[in-house]
Structure 1
Amino acid sequence: MLDSELSCAISQAMTRLSDTERIAFVLCHQQGFKLKEAAEVMSCTVNSVKVVLFRARNKLKARLAEYH
């Protein structure tokens, strides 16, 4: 598998997330925000961010399972 193939698959999987899931994922996993910081940016509770991240991770895992 080529890195470009994996990058393309990740990009496609990210586009299938809801806006909220994508924002939470990017803030916490790509930009290094803490849950509390992400909650402030997203104007929601920390628990809401946790739930959204859980859903986003599960969707990404399912879509990228063949690459693992």
Structure 2
Amino acid sequence: MTETALRVAIIIASTREGRFGPTVGTWFAEQARQHGDIVADVVDSRRSRRRPRSGRRRPTLSPR
């Protein structure tokens, strides 16, 4: 790896059950790392989810 390596973040935004994003994200990161001049990081929103602040609920749409 050189000093001018390209840094890439692969962001997996889906948090639902049965999601396919981690499979694709991990595959892409491995492919990028094989290039040699790319530093790839996978950021999974499901693993890094923050808990809602106490007493606050997430906004929802109300039925019309």
> Which protein has the larger Cα radius of gyration, Structure 1 or Structure 2?
2
TM range, normalised to the smaller chain?
A: 0.3 to 0.5
* TM-score under structure 2 length normalisation: 0.37
* TM-score under structure 1 length normalisation: 0.36
